[in-house]
Amino acid sequence: MGTIGLFLSGAVLFLNGLMLLGKADGKSVAYFNLFVGAIQTVSPFYLAVVSDQSNWELYNNASIFLFGLTYLYVGVTTIKDLNGSGLGYYSLWVSIAAIVYAAVSVIHFGDLSSALTWIMWAYLWFLFYLSMSRGKDIDEYIGKVAVVLSWVTLTIPSLLNLTGVAEETVALINYVISLGAIVYFCYLTFSWQRRKQYAS
């Protein structure tokens, strides 16, 4: 995904996380989802049309659609107060696609940093599936994960790229903060499970 797309996705995911935590109004956040979602469906379509149509060009552009369509789906579902099961199953599909992107990052591109990022995105989409299609009461947990990922996988890397930091340095920073985020998610999961056990 392009750097500007990463930057805007960071804002959307941050707001969505705050919405799930009950700190931001759902409908106001939903309209921002629609705005960014529209950008991230129109732009990859244009890039795909003017590209050389090679498989890797189309592969890279397709990844932007995963985010753009998610934001549009979230926006419409929230504004229209629709049943979220369809969005949940779409999120499951995207989480599987994200695992493929992670595997390709390692196998074809030798990029472990990007692979870790895709794995974390796959985890977040899978959480949306559990919440919306399986009825799991984990919105607060998802909100915390989303807020962290909005900075670790999107906002910080895009700001580093936009300010001209060397790609090797950006990759190293991404690797370190990604591992830190994974450790935090393990702690968060353990704490969440213990709290649920005590509550029951």
DSSP secondary structure letters along 6-65: HHHHHHHHHHHHHHHTTSS-HHHHHHHHHHHHHHHHHHHHHHHHHS---HHHHHHHHHHH
pLDDT exceeds cutoff 60 at 94: yes
Comparing 191 with 100, the larger pLDDT belongs to 100
Q: Give the chain's mean pLDDT.
A: 94
**pLDDT category of residue 110 using cuts at 50, 70 and 90:** very high
The pLDDT of residue 198 is: 75
The pLDDT of residue 116 is: 93
The pLDDT of residue 193 is: 81
**pLDDT category of residue 1 using cuts at 50, 70 and 90:** low
pLDDT exceeds cutoff 70 at 77: yes
The pLDDT of residue 200 is: 63
The pLDDT of residue 197 is: 74
Range in 10-14, 17-21, 90-94, 169-173 with the lowest mean pLDDT: 169-173
Tell me if the pTM is above 0.75: yes
Quote the CA–CA distance of 71 and 54 in Å, as a whole number. Answer: 27
Comparing 36 with 2, the larger pLDDT belongs to 36
pLDDT exceeds cutoff 90 at 196: no
The continuous run of DSSP H or E covering 137 comes out as none
Per residue in 147-183, pLDDT (tens digit) is 999 999 999 999 999 999 998 898 899 989 999 999 9
Cα dihedral 74→80→81→83 (10° resolution): -70
